[in-house]
Amino acid sequence: MKIAWPHEGIRAAAGAKKIPGNATEAEAYMKDKFKELFIAKAEDWFKPVNQGGLGQAKINQLFKLDNMDDILDADQFILLMNTNTSFRNNALKFIKIE
């Protein structure tokens, strides 16, 4: 099984304890862990840059789909992660396990 991320510390950052052996299950597991991490960090990410956040503009640059309006705040981001499959898949597309 090949996990496509540059550093093992990412697994720990996502709170993953033990990754399942099957590649399909492992990918689903890691995507779920990163979804949880993104939701947990949303409030901090939406803070202005001068307050240690990424800011709304950067969040939109990183996560917004072409056909959607700007993501205005952490609550909207969390709602999208929880209810919009296209948005969630796009946000987590960097996780590939072969």
Cα 87 to Cα 39: distance, rounded to the nearest angstrom: 13
* Statement: residue 16 has pLDDT above 80: no
**Which three-class secondary structure state does DSSP give residue 74?**
helix
**Angle, alpha carbons 84-17-75 (nearest 5°):** 30
- The answer to whether the CB of 37 falls within 8 A of the CB of 81 is no
* Statement: residue 45 has pLDDT above 80: yes
Cα 1 to Cα 35: distance, rounded to the nearest angstrom: 22
Contacts with 63 (C-beta within 8 Å, 6 or more apart), sequence order? 71, 77, 87, 90, 91
- Our count of domains for the chain comes to 1
- The reported pTM is 0.77
Residue 50 forms part of a structural domain: yes
* Statement: residue 63 has pLDDT above 60: yes
Domain that holds residue 72: 9-91
* Statement: residue 65 has pLDDT above 70: yes
pLDDT at residue 25 in the model: 85
Q: How confident is the model at residue 73 (pLDDT cuts 50, 70, 90)?
A: very high
Residue 98 forms part of a structural domain: no
Residue 54 forms part of a structural domain: yes
And the tokens for 66? 């072409």
Residue 4 forms part of a structural domain: no
> 28 versus 97: which is more confidently predicted?
28
Residue 57 forms part of a structural domain: yes
For residues 61-78, average pLDDT: 92
